[in-house]
Structure 1
Amino acid sequence: MKKPTKAIEKTYNWDDFFPAEHSHHVFRSKFNKGKGSFYHAQNFYDLAFVEDGKGTHEINGHRYKISKGDVLIITPKDAHKVTASSKNELFITNIGMKPSVVTHAKRRYPNQFSWFQIDDISKAAFHLDEERLAAVHDAIETLALEPREPAAIDRFILNLTPLIPLRFQETKIAPDWLVNAMEIFREERPLPEGVDALVRISGKTPAHVSRSMKRFYEQTPTDFVNDIRLQSVSHQLLMTTKSVEEIAYDCGFNNLPHFFKLFRQTFTVSPLQFRRGQQQGTPNQ
């Protein structure tokens, strides 16, 4: 990653602004035409959602245009600033997160949280269309009203991940038919039908789908479907009182021993431990 080419004007520390015990904070910024923030560093993670307007984002010596619907990822390693254009005001909603919370989330959700593990700064931003931005806005409003506890961030990440364009995670340019099929599957979630549904949506043969997914995403169709199933399972464990077995069957896991094995491999704990840990508002170890 290219190092900053200009001096850092300010450094923001979590404990200077927020209670140490809080896991996250939601805050909003308005920049008048031609105005911006200091070029600053910070010791926490930040998801910045451009709610309206246009401007530029300068980060680690790179400068990009930003506009409504853009989502920016800032880590404790970065130095950055945002500036409104000379003709537009800029409105940004930020979700600041303590590093320990992000570390625990990556450990609990290695697949669902992969989009946040960015080393290439050119990929550290993506765009949401109007519909997805509206859904994210609603999720942020809910998050702002919840206790500043890790469980709230868990729910937010689980709700946010399906809205992130799959193209953001690509290392190669996948064909539109595959990207569209995967996005439709993620949106409609025909989980009991599983891989058969993905193949049907794609309009291709099972072998073609399998070869293409391995080439462009380095995973099998079964791996992809199981990731989506596990996202749904974890969400239902947090948001419903249904039994673990009922949730597993609803999400297409008909082999319970296999389900329990996959769940523990992904989240490092059993489904019941996951549910109890989140209800208590403490990270799973």
Structure 2
Amino acid sequence: MTQLHLRHKNILDHGAAFHLSRAVLDRARPKVLHTQDYHELFWLVNGKARLYLEDQKQTLVEGDLVFMPCGTPHGLQGVGEACHIVNVIVPAGEVDALLARYPQANRYFPPSGHAPVHLHRGIRALSRLSSAAITLESAPRTTLHLEAFLLPLIAELSGDTRDMPEGIPAWLRTAVIAAEDPATLQGGAAGFVAATGKSHAHVSRSMQKHFAMTPSDYINARRMAHAARLLAGTPDTLPEIAEALGLSNMSHFHRLFRAQFDITPRRYREKNQKGVIQPV
């Protein structure tokens, strides 16, 4: 497939630090792939899409976020019903300046010609990203406003991925990030496996290899970590917390929590809410 090269000077206004656009993807397969002299990040607000690279194609779904480096041939195609995306274009010089101050952000801005970074945002994270994009859309096209958008996003993504083992496949990384979303936690191990798009047996083998845990053990550990945050920071009752995590059996909830924290949920709340003033 032939290639087209795009330049930021033909897209951005003179002196602009970024360009933001919204689009409905064409359902026709791209006739050519294109490269570019700028970085971009885009995410699907709804619908499905195909991302074409030189040697493969990837399916993107609502909530998928892609960091595309300079010089990487690619193309996008909408699939099925209207696919809406948001796209932010950032000149290479802006990214270089940001990485000089925050080198840990380089995982999201790969070198020219490298594979894109493909992540997934759950419904709450996607809502935060969409709200931040609305603010950016109406802001002056300055470095200050660009970094006010990028830095919180990168900090949030870094928090999501800080405990990832080396060598974890992209599909499992995406599912592990999705497991921080309460909607995924509600679905239990079945919901976690569904987020991978792989068979239960394949997910089980991969989880044992990278985390030394079964999918059920992993999702229950995430459930209890979320329960601990709710116990310490909210006035929600124990049944409300258990229900939010997809656990209808209170005895099972208590056993899981005590096995992880060696303390009952009620006692955990008493220890961690001392001095906390609850809203009236």
Alignment partner of 1:116 is 2:108: yes
Which residue in the other structure is 1:259 paired with? none
Give the Cα–Cα distance (whole angstroms) in 2 for the partners of residues 95 and 51 of structure 1: 13
Give 1:161 deviation, angstroms: 2.1
Give per-residue Cα distances to partners, 1:98-133, cap 9 Å, x unaligned: 00000111111122x143143696662011111100
Give the Cα–Cα distance (whole angstroms) in 1 for the partners of residues 40 and 97 of structure 2: 16
Segments of structure 2 that go 5 or more residues without pairing to the other structure are 169-209, 233-258, 263-280
Give the Cα–Cα distance (whole angstroms) in 2 for the partners of residues 122 and 60 of structure 1: 10
Give 1:32 deviation, angstroms: 4.1
Judge which range, 126-135 or 33-42, deviates more.
Answer: 33-42
Query: Considering only CA atoms, is the larger Rg found in Structure 1 or Structure 2?
Result: 2
Give the Cα–Cα distance (whole angstroms) in 1 for the partners of residues 31 and 141 of structure 2: 25
Aligned length: 185
Which residue in the other structure is 1:7 paired with? 2
TM-score, length of structure 2 as denominator length: 0.56
Give the Cα–Cα distance (whole angstroms) in 2 for the partners of residues 144 and 75 of structure 1: 22
Contact 1:14 1:20 in 2 (8 A): no
Which residue in the other structure is 1:49 paired with? 43
Name the % identity: 15
Give per-residue Cα distances to partners, 1:2-54, cap 9 Å, x unaligned: xxxx221x221111122231110101111244455842111100001111111
Give 1:84 deviation, angstroms: 1.1
Contact 2:72 2:115 in 1 (8 A): no
Contact 1:37 1:83 in 2 (8 A): no
Q: 1:156-195 counterparts in 2 under 5 A?
A: 156-164=149-157, 165-166=160-161, 170-171=165-166, 172=168, 173-174=210-211, 176=218, 180=222
Higher RCO structure (Cα 8 Å, ≥6 apart) = 1
Give per-residue Cα distances to partners, 1:235-281, cap 9 Å, x unaligned: xxxxxxxxxxxxxxxxxxxxxxxxxxxxxxxxxxxxxxxxxxxxxxx
RMSD over aligned Cα atoms: 3.6
2:125 to 132, 149, 161: 132
Q: 1:23-62 counterparts in 2 under 5 A?
A: 23-34=17-28, 36=30, 38-62=32-56
Contact 2:68 2:116 in 1 (8 A): no
Indicate how the Cα distance of structure 1 residues 95 and 47 shifts in structure 2: closer, same or farther if over 3 A, else same. same
Name the aligned partner's letter for residue 20 of structure 1: H
Which residue in the other structure is 1:70 paired with? 64
Give the Cα–Cα distance (whole angstroms) in 2 for the partners of residues 124 and 90 of structure 1: 20
